[in-house]
Amino acid sequence: MNKKEKVQFVIDTLEELYPNPPIPLSHTDPYTLLISVLLSAQSTDARVNQITPILFAKANNPYDMIKLTEEEIRAIIKPVGLSPMKAKGIYGLSKILVEKYGGDVPSDIEALESLPAVGHKTASVVMSQAFGVPSFPVDTHIHRLMYRWNLSSGKNVVQTEKDAKRLFPRELWNKLHLQIIYYGREYSPARGWDINKDLITRTVGRKSLLQKKSS
């Protein structure tokens, strides 16, 4: 199986398993998605989805958010971890959105990346899921699976994103990155991985990994 065939097998298998993958973070608009994605750093989507209703009941837009203090935000979001940094980022970016963008989240990746606590992955998720702009946010699941599938070197997420964008059709990026995340969680986790349940890796993956798991 050559690389082109591997890519098509991945696409076909994921489409069969996850024809309509939902966005895992609960949100109602670009702002609440941006805050949710920021909160998800080194946390789980499930934990974030438990906390955001509490936060958004007090402030679901940047105007109301800056009426809170960083300490008040921090107290609410503490269960998701890294609360001092995240609270500072939420307050800081909300202030900028009010002062510079009229309260709107910009639909430009460079503008998003210039906001406090917003990195490339967070900006890419917002571009993809809020604005429908083809993007390929790479999280730990995608980084792990692209390596296991022998579609990327696994050196770093920057290279993984370049490889994903090079190999997969642009029109599939927004859906495919969600499909890979769901597949990783269900069939190819970092811990407790059973290659016998991991159809894609068994079919297209690295021989070294296959041999290691079968030994």
Enzyme catalytic residues:
121, 139
Burial class (CB in 10 A: 0-12, 13-18, 19+), 109: middle
Helix intervals (H) in 102-152: 109-113, 120-129, 140-148
Q: Please state, in angstroms and rounded to a whole number, the distance separating the CA atoms of residues 142 and 145.
A: 5
- Contact indicator for 165, 128 with CB cutoff of 8 Å: no
